[in-house]
Chain A
């Protein structure tokens, strides 16, 4: 059984996993990074996801959209097993594979999985530590304490998150003292410091002003060549601007999954059109 315990950063598979289904795949020949098959997910008795099948392409930005309660954040949290932390949450049926590995298999090391599948939340949540320590925290708990190595990672991560120039002279200052947009980019820098292959973003810009939002969106574009990004957003324009593929969820079901330009210009499903044009939801 393949586990994530000793995995280096996962690269996308060589071959494309092409599917004939319009719903599960956005008609792309890109390699699949995350594969969900007939997933049913429950909170207690309530079925939050119903027979969801989707293939998330590697090194692209995939947006999840849909009205509140449609299951998009639930699915996102399934990808790094964040739902394990919710007592009543359980998978009823189906499977989720990340890089071909069933992430819910008992042999899978959840910590290693989360190292591979980083997450950025709606509200920026820097640790109450210095900017430097925020970045190095993940490495230090892995036992990496070589100062030169840590310095390298801090600079690389902050540069990767387009934050280096703004904070390079105050790395010892508290991360909590940064602006909202800077804090969010610090969280992204912290996520990429451990070299994940996937970054999950749950409404990462909902608390940011337009300028900070623009910086994060620009960053997403820069990161997508290196990371597979899945973003949940209620902002239709943001989904349109940032993503390559878009999945629309409604009442726990995946209604439509297609290239973003298709979804936002000529969606196949009336429900999708009604939602993105603001006629319901």
Chain B
């Protein structure tokens, strides 16, 4: 039998899933806008960002109302904290999607500096990290959460490698500076998306285990599928 307050907890989770779905979609559209050089998709991503902002506010309102009226304890209390933090991370991911399309719009006015290979590759990893972090939340899967944290390094490495490559373009030809800087900003935005997905994975671990693994360097080196406990 479902208690009335359990339904309220379920509503918060459901709202969070809706927000994550929209965020994933926006990020995916932002990458399509960049790769397909489509300004209309850029407009769509910017418009959707407002909806995601509103969902963040709604989730925080639901969380504060539940905390004030129910005084949640133990896992329920952790869920409140986690829901608020996950929604905050999702909102920031959506902001990164907006940042990507703003730079994409500028890039669309000029020929491509170079074929887009590394950025879509990074984006694929980051998007998968985001998708998996939400799956780990839904399934209560700590092993998956730990695996996501370890994946963040590959995104960091591609970002650094791309920054070096784009710097060499700029050194060789100052005419490329604007485009290279735009690509570096996009690369940095995707790197931030991976960071936020990592944050969500850490929150999921905390939710399930009550153990705070933020800033735990050993997690970044954990082997795939490994459980540190």
Assess whether B171 is interfacial by the CB under 8 Å rule: no
Q: Are B71 and A264 in contact (CB under 8 A)?
A: no
Given pairs A264-B77, A266-B211, 17 additional interface contacts (CB within 8 A) = A236-B73, A237-B71, A240-B73, A265-B77, A265-B78, A265-B210, A266-B78, A267-B74, A273-B74, A276-B73, A276-B74, A277-B72, A277-B74, A277-B75, A277-B76, A278-B5, A279-B3
Q: Are B74 and A278 in contact (CB under 8 A)?
A: no
Q: Are A264 and B74 in contact (CB under 8 A)?
A: yes
Chain A residues contacting B209 (CB-CB under 8 Å) are 266
Kindly identify, within residues 194 to 228 of chain B, every residue whose CB is under 8 Å from any CB belonging to chain A: 209-211
Interface 1/0s, chain B 56-74, versus A by CB < 8 A? 0000000000000001111
| Bound: A237/B76 CA distance, A | 14
User: Distance (Å) between the CB of B35 and the closest chain A CB?
Assistant: 45
Kindly identify, within residues 233 to 274 of chain A, every residue whose CB is under 8 Å from any CB belonging to chain B: 236-237, 240, 263-267, 273
Interface 1/0s, chain B 21-40, versus A by CB < 8 A? 00000000000000000000
Kindly identify, within residues 74 to 96 of chain B, every residue whose CB is under 8 Å from any CB belonging to chain A: 74-78
Chain A residues contacting B72 (CB-CB under 8 Å) are 277
24 A/B residue pairs, CB under 8 Å, sorted by A: A236-B71, A237-B71, A240-B73, A263-B74, A264-B74, A264-B77, A265-B73, A265-B74, A265-B78, A265-B210, A266-B74, A266-B210, A266-B211, A273-B74, A273-B75, A276-B73, A276-B74, A277-B72, A277-B73, A277-B74, A277-B75, A277-B76, A278-B5, A279-B3
Chain A residues contacting B71 (CB-CB under 8 Å) are 236-237
Contact A264 to B73, CB < 8 A, known contacts A278-B3, A278-B5: yes
Chain B residues contacting A276 (CB-CB under 8 Å) are 73-74
User: Distance (Å) between the CB of A148 and the closest chain B CB?
Assistant: 48
Specify the chain A residue showing the minimal Cβ separation from B77.
Answer: A265
Interface 1/0s, chain A 213-238, versus B by CB < 8 A? 00000000000000000000000110
Specify the chain A residue showing the minimal Cβ separation from B209.
Answer: A266
User: Distance (Å) between the CB of B82 and the closest chain A CB?
Assistant: 13
Specify the chain A residue showing the minimal Cβ separation from B210.
Answer: A266
| Bound: A278/B77 CA distance, A | 12
Interface 1/0s, chain B 161-192, versus A by CB < 8 A? 00000000000000000000000000000000
Among B3, B5, B71, B73, which residue has the most Cβ atoms of chain A within 10 A?
B73
| Bound: A264/B71 CA distance, A | 11
User: Distance (Å) between the CB of A247 and the closest chain B CB?
Assistant: 16
Chain B residues contacting A237 (CB-CB under 8 Å) are 71
Among A240, A267, A277, A279, which residue has the most Cβ atoms of chain B within 10 A?
A277
Chain A residues contacting B5 (CB-CB under 8 Å) are 278
Chain A residues contacting B76 (CB-CB under 8 Å) are 277
| Bound: A277/B66 CA distance, A | 13
Specify the chain B residue showing the minimal Cβ separation from A273.
Answer: B74
